[in-house]
Amino acid sequence: MENKKVYIETLGCQMNKSDAERMYGMLEHIGYTQTENPKEADMLIINTCSIRQLSEDKAYSQIGVWGKWKGMTVNENGTRVYNPYPKIVFAGCVAQQAGEKLFRRAPYVDLVLGTQRLYELPNLVKRIENGERIVSVDEKPFEESDIQINRVKGINAWVPIMEGCNNFCTYCIVPYTRGRERSRKPELIMAEIKKALSEGFKEITLLGQNVDSYGKGVNETQNGFEISDTKEYGKDLAGNTINLSWLLRQINALEGKFRIRFVTNYPTDITDEVIDTVIELDKVCEYFHIPMQSGDDYVLKKMNRRYDYATYKKICDHIRSRIPDVTITSDFIAGFPGETEEQFENTLKAMTELELDYSNTAAYSPRERTVAAKWVDKYIPEDVKTDRLARLNEHNRACCLISNKKYLGREMEVLVENYEVRKNGDKVITGRTRNNKIVHIPCDRDLTGEFVNVRITNARTWYLNGELI
């Protein structure tokens, strides 16, 4: 088939969005072009997220719609068969969990693609084009061999450096859907970053469930580096030299003006070496995303998090004492099974006391296979969870405003990400400071991609206003 078109719908986190860019890149190599219109696509891919039930339901409902487009006929033997096009691919975290079962639930799906088989996609697509129906959810990663990425144009390039998690927090599905921690080969990461910079990207964000684990699963081989399956499998590469700090140094040494960020950090895995690196390297930004999840020690224990409130506070205080303008953001869950009102209030207190700059918040959503999902008798009623989430959000808003007000009158460097002419005729550029604050600035020229110096003139809950200086 000539001029084949693919449409990808991505749900969930930045890792999924990054996977979608990789899928586009690989499919381009085998003759597909991207379309924004699913109705004209020869192949429809849904890249699913299983972090919450709502997101999982959305994925099933979407393929239900696509299945109807595909239509069904009855062959001469009386068997129901679906038209061969469009091909439907069910990928991502829900696919990893559902596996073979998905074919029974959605007989019009052609390929179930697990998270660790992403790089097998071109081979599998050729086979489904020949009429096969395939489930590929093996937990052994299909190794990446080349840079095949078709990035969404922009300023910030997301670059995965590791994937998976060994922590098994009791509420979290990630270790089951993304597998154990694996680091990407440094040479692949560096080549990908060089390519992104040559394409005009000005900010590189290193991505991983636990970026501090980078390198802890990488072994040295005679020919360079190879990916290993678990932390235990190998020591840090080349006698502890390959780790997050090492990688940051390699990237910082690349020519040109650009910024480097990394997410996400597990609180107790942040080392002094990483903090030193952030201070020392000019391109690495003053920003840490450190999920806390709860401010109550008993709940943290039940969540299987490896720290208590005092330890988390010590980590924040330590980072702030060394990097004065650092932004620290976090994640919190409201209504974890068994959480009492008093325990929830400890989370509110923690958010305020730690002066967190921003937090992602969510009500607890039970995920099949996780430990906490089995504590059905301890589930918090929906109305209580909703109320707690609303109170958490209120605290979050207050913390954000306090944080933003600290920068009133300050001069800051902003990397411009966007230019718009508003309905009232105002012309505004929007960008971020090194410490990840959003700033709107009146400006009659499109300066997207440029670094500008700005004086902060106003602080709102979610953003700052500034003027060019």
Nearest approach, Cβ of residue 228 and ligand SF4 (Å): 18
Cα–Cα distance for residue pair 445/452, rounded to 1 Å: 12
Token digits for 439? 């700033």
Question: Is residue 417 a contact partner of residue 431, using CB atoms and an 8 Å limit?
Answer: yes
Please name the residue that has the structure tokens 């460097």: 413
Q: CB under 8 Å to 286, separation ≥6 — which residues?
A: 278, 323, 325, 326, 327, 434, 435
What does the block give as tokens for 57?
A: 């339901």
Residue 228 identity (one-letter amino acid):
S
Between 169 and 204, name the residue whose CB sits nearer to ligand SF4. Answer: 169
Of 86 and 267, nearer to ligand SF4 (C-beta) is 267
Distance CA 157, CA 204 (A): 5
At its nearest, how many Å lie between ligand SF4 and the CB of residue 204? 22
Which C-beta is closer to ligand SF4: that of 209 or that of 359? 209
376: burial class by Cβ within 10 Å (0-12, 13-18, 19+)?
exposed
Minimal distance in Å, beta carbon 165 to ligand SF4?
Answer: 3
Least distance between ligand SF4 and beta carbon 369 (Å): 12
Residue 376 DSSP one-character state: G
Q: How far is the CB of 207 from ligand SF4 (least distance, A)?
A: 12
Name the residue nearer to ligand SF4 (CB basis): 249 or 369: 369
What is the contact surface with ligand SF4 in residues (CB under 6 A)?
Answer: 165, 167-169, 172, 174-175, 209, 266
- Name which of 86 and 291 has its Cβ closer to ligand SF4: 291
CB of 301 to ligand SF4, least distance (A): 14
Tell me whether residue 66 or residue 158 sits nearer to ligand SF4 (CB atom): 158
Residue among 258 and 332 whose Cβ is closer to ligand SF4: 332
Q: CA–CA separation, 85 vs 466, rounded Å?
A: 52
Residue spans of alpha helices (H) in 178-296: 186-198, 237-240, 244-252, 272-280
CB of 178 to ligand SF4, least distance (A): 8
- Strand 224-227 with 327-334, pairing: unpaired
Query: Residues in the chain, how many?
Result: 469
How would DSSP label each residue in 341-352?
HHHHHHHHHHHH
Q: Is 329 exposed, middle or buried (0-12, 13-18, 19+ CB in 10 A)?
A: buried
Return the number of the residue (169 or 263) whose C-beta is nearest ligand SF4.
169
In angstroms, give the least distance from the CB of 2 to ligand SF4: 43
User: In angstroms, rounded to a whole number, what is the distance separating the alpha carbons of residues 433 and 10?
Assistant: 28
Q: Which is nearer to ligand SF4, 168 or 462 (CB)?
A: 168
Strand partners, 34: 6
Of 214 and 266, which has the nearer Cβ to ligand SF4? 266
Q: In this structure, what are the phi and psi dihedrals at residue 27, rounded to the nearest 5 degrees?
A: -70, -30
The residue among 313, 310, 304, 330 whose CA lies nearest residue 399 is 330
Q: Which CB, 172 or 439, lies closer to ligand SF4?
A: 172
Least Å distance between CB 370 and ligand SF4? Answer: 9
Measuring CA to CA, which residue among 58, 34, 39, 36 is closest to residue 48? 58
- Give me the least distance between CB of 142 and ligand SF4, in Å please: 21
CB of 209 to ligand SF4, least distance (A): 4
How many Cβ atoms are within 10 Å of 37's Cβ, its own excluded? 8
Q: How far is the CB of 466 from ligand SF4 (least distance, A)?
A: 34
d(CA 167, CA 310): 20
Cα angle 113, 116, 118 (rounded to 5 degrees) comes to 55
Report the residue number, 50 or 404, with the smaller CB distance to ligand SF4: 50
* Sequential DSSP letters for 91-115: EEHHHHHHTTHHHHH-TT--EEE-G
> What is the per-residue DSSP string for 168-185?
--TT--HHHHT-S-EEPP
